[in-house]
Amino acid sequence: MLGRTADGLFWMFRYLERSENTARLIETGFRIGLTRRTGENEEWQSVLQTAAVDDLYYRHYTQLEASKVIDFLLRDANNPSSVMSSIATARRNARRVRTAITGEVWGAINDTFLYLKQALKRPVSTRDLPVLLSTIRQQSQLVRGATHGSMLRNDLFDFCRLGTFLERADNTARILDVKYYVLLPSISQIGSNLDNIQWETILRSVGGQRAYRTVDRGDPCPKGIANFLIFDGRMPRSLMFSTSKIATNMHFLEKVYGIRLTSHDHADQLIARLENGNIERVFEEGLHEFISDFLRDTARLGTQIESDYRFRE
């Protein structure tokens, strides 16, 4: 397998995941704007921060304005993380590695691209936004489904999965990073319930508002939510879930190639921190530090994978 192919698959799936995450963030911001009288602008500000494009936004706009933020996140070519840019990048990578993916996976990503190109030709009206956002999520699930149903479980597949889960771990950690102050005991008294709007946005942006209700009886307390997003291995967008998937795929690569590399050590450290940790200790030692470390370590792992497996010369 070519290093360039590993590169293409890894980034194809990172960008596919990113498009879905960005769509969720837009959905969250939009929803808050509809149901709340106040706090809408702060919400868009933190959405931009979570997507790590706030600086970029202010380079093009002076005012924080819902319609502009939505357009910027949805279809702006100046924003490499906009849904349209992400899907275009995912597809470009898919074309680069056309021989490494099945016709079904290619068909699904190509379909998604063609659909969005049409749907995002012009700014999207508020009325059309909900349907569009849910279609974006469905399309991304279609690609994932085609990948699951048709790809060989070999090293190619491992690089697809690594891209998916590194991006996802990064995204969930960012949500926590931007919102950590909401979860801090100093602001909401220990044991007290969070302002509904806050926990709703956090859970909504990982598509976990319903799941949380069934898992922890839905007590919207800071610890409960933080635990759900960090340590709950049942929750498919939690740090624990994403990290354990990364560890599994790293392990497969070690077995297939018969060689252990630096990136394996990094991956082991990442999963060990979660497996040996618990929410009490995280709160004691500082949620913010924990998340910062996690973000730094996933970035380091990503870079190490790229060099260990010769993505580029």
Partner 1 sequence: MVAMEHVFDEMTGTGNSPLPSYQAYRAWFDGENLSDLRRKSRDAEDFFRRTGITFNVYGDHEAEERLIPFDIVPRIISAWEWSRLTRGIEQRVRAINAFLHDIYHRQEILRAGRIPIELVAANPAFLPQMIGAAPPKKIYTHIVGIDIVRTAQDEFFVLEDNARTPSGVSYMLENRETMLQMFPELFSRIRVKPVQDYPINLRRSLAASAPADCDDDCTVAVLTPGLHNSAYFEHAFLADHMGVELVEGCDLRIIDGKVAMRTTEGYKPIDVLYRRVDDSFLDPLSFNPDSLLGVPGIMGIYLAGRITIANAPGTGIADDKAIYSYMPEIVEFYTGEKSLLKNVPTWRCSEPDALAYVLEHLDELVVKEVHGSGGYGMHVGPASSRRERTKFAAKLKARPKKYIAQPTLALSTVPILTQKGLAPRHVDLRPYVLVSPDKITVTPGGLTRVALKRGSLVVNSSQGGGTKDTWVLED
Q: Could you say which of 36, 45, 80, 107 contacts partner 1 (CB under 8 A)?
A: 107
Q: Least distance from C-beta 6 to partner 1, angstroms?
A: 5
Least Å from the CB of residue 164 to partner 1: 18
Per CB under 8 A, does 117 bind partner 1? yes
Beta carbons within 8 Å of 247's beta carbon, 6+ residues apart = 267, 268, 270, 271
Integer CA distances (angstroms), 296 to 22, 31, 87, 156, 254, in order: 21, 31, 26, 26, 23
For partner 1, give the closer residue by CB, 160 or 287.
Answer: 160
Q: Can you tell me the distance from the alpha carbon of 287 to that of 293, in angstroms, rounded to the nearest whole number? A: 10
Among 225, 270, 276, 207, smallest CA distance to 244 is for 270
Range in contact with partner 1 (rule: CB under 8 A) among 68-76, 103-111, 226-234, 239-247? 103-111
Directed axis angle between helix 83-96 and helix 103-119, to 10°? 150
Q: Can you tell me the distance from the alpha carbon of 190 to that of 180, in angstroms, rounded to the nearest whole number? A: 15
Query: With CB under 8 A as the contact rule, which of the stretches 24-32, 90-98, 142-150, 166-174 interacts with partner 1?
Result: 90-98
Among 103, 123, 185, 191, binds partner 1 (CB under 8 A): 103
Paired tokens of 271 = 């999963």
Which position among 52, 68, 111, 236 is part of the footprint of partner 1 (CB under 8 A)? 111
Rank residues 30 and 113 by Cβ distance to partner 1 and give the closer one: 113
Rule CB under 8 A: which of 139-158 touch partner 1?
155
Please, which residue, 68 or 92, has the CB nearer to partner 1?
92
Binding of partner 1 by 92 (CB under 8 A) = yes
Token pair listed for 219: 């007590």
Q: 98 is written with which tokens?
A: 């056309």
Contact, 27 vs 133, CB < 8 A? yes
Residue 98 in contact with partner 1, rule: CB under 8 A: yes
For position 4 contacting partner 1 by CB under 8 A, the verdict is yes
Judged by CB under 8 A, the residue of 186, 217, 276, 313 near partner 1 is 313
Round to whole Å and give the CA distance between 182 and 154: 42
Kindly tell me which of 95 and 273 has the beta carbon lying closer to partner 1: 95
Distance in Å, CB of 100 to partner 1, minimum: 9
Nearest residue to 223 (alpha-carbon basis) of 250, 255, 194: 194
Residues in 248-287 that interact with partner 1 by CB under 8 A: 257, 259
Query: How far lies 5's CA from each of 86, 92, 310, in Å?
Result: 18, 12, 10
Alpha carbon distance 312, 225 (integer Å) = 40
Is 95 one of the binding residues for partner 1 (CB under 8 A)? yes
Per CB under 8 A, which region of 26-34, 57-65, 87-95, 122-130 contacts partner 1? 87-95
Nearest-angstrom CA–CA distance, 272 and 229: 17
Rule CB under 8 A: say whether 40 interacts with partner 1. no
Q: Among the candidate windows 45-53, 88-96, 162-170, 211-219, which touches partner 1 by CB under 8 A?
A: 88-96
Q: Judged by CB under 8 A, does residue 309 bind partner 1?
A: yes
Cα–Cα nearest to 204, from 82, 52, 50: 50
Part in contact with partner 1 (CB under 8 A); list of ranges 104-112, 128-136, 173-181, 291-299 = 104-112
Residue type, position 172, single letter: T
The span from the CA of 139 to the CA of 109, in Å, is 8
Site for partner 1, rule CB under 8 A: 1-6, 88, 92, 95-96, 98-99, 103, 106-107, 110-111, 114, 117, 155, 257, 259, 309-310, 313
